[in-house]
Amino acid sequence: MKKILIIEDEKMLGEMYQDKFIQAGFDAVLAETAEEGITAVRQEKPDLILLDILLPRTNGIGFMEWLKKEKEFSSIPVIAFSNYDDPKTKKEAAELGIKDYLIKTNYTPQEIVDKVKSYLKN
């Protein structure tokens, strides 16, 4: 069973995506901050990370900077999903090796699951 780490500070949204991924047959772990995400990466060693960008304290970009420095985890694919549609942030995210930058509101949870499946296949 593939393990997905969802880093999402909006509790309602986080729980919704977690539900969807569990229903789709994934093992889904939820973290509400970048710091919790770092702990979860170390403990759970996920196969893919779904990362929100606007997070309290350390944001998604800060989390990516940490991940890129960690040799053991730097190869984990990351998909950013955020409603913060800022071209500069998107560019920064791409430079840090994020696979895709999805605007949450444009995708249903099922479509996000499909995206994740396609990235895991590759």
Residue ranges in contact with other proteins by CB under 8 A: 10, 12-13, 16-17, 19-20, 23, 54, 82-87, 90, 103-106, 108-110
Nearer to other proteins, 38 or 104 (CB): 104
Helix, strand, or coil (residue 99)? coil
- Smallest separation, CB 72 to other proteins (Å): 32
Nearer to other proteins, 63 or 81 (CB): 81
Helices (H), the chain: 11-23, 34-44, 60-69, 87-95, 109-121
- Smallest separation, CB 25 to other proteins (Å): 13
Burial class (CB in 10 A: 0-12, 13-18, 19+), 75: exposed
